[in-house]
Amino acid sequence: MLISTKGRYGVMIMVYLAEYFNDGHKPLKEIAASQELSEKYLEQIINPLTKAGLLTSYRGAQGGYALAKSPSEITVGDILRILEGSLAPVYCVAEDGEVCQKQDSCNSVVVWKKIKNAIDNVVDNMTLSDLLEEEKAKN
């Protein structure tokens, strides 16, 4: 499974907003410039995150976006599932996946379940705060 550009930029945008969590909202134009994205493409990423309650939008000339929760309360898994859907490597182990006709006799389902569990474990236990700490440790 590959994470799409939308998913990757979604995480980067959320980390950027986490850096400024205590400073209020950031204008769309500023967020777009920070990630070298067009405002139109950025809106495609920000809108689902706003609808899902991870971002708060501020309207008007001085409008923009801010995290709706503390960076320690938002996981990478939250972001990716909103933008990507299921993170399962194959449909038969996805939460909303189809039931496989060979489910009872499948000799490889254990591999797919372990991969899914490993992915879930990483993304659901890594918050925006964790990513900020990792970034600070690098510098």
pLDDT (0 to 100) of residue 97: 63
CATH code at 103?
1.10.10.10
Structurally, the chain folds into a number of domains equal to 1
* Residue 78 pLDDT: 99
- The whole domain housing 134 covers 5-138
Structure tokens at 122: 């990483």
pLDDT band at 116 (very low <50, low <70, confident <90, very high): very high
pLDDT (tens digit per residue) in 12-67 = 999 999 999 999 999 999 999 999 999 999 999 999 999 999 999 999 888 999 99
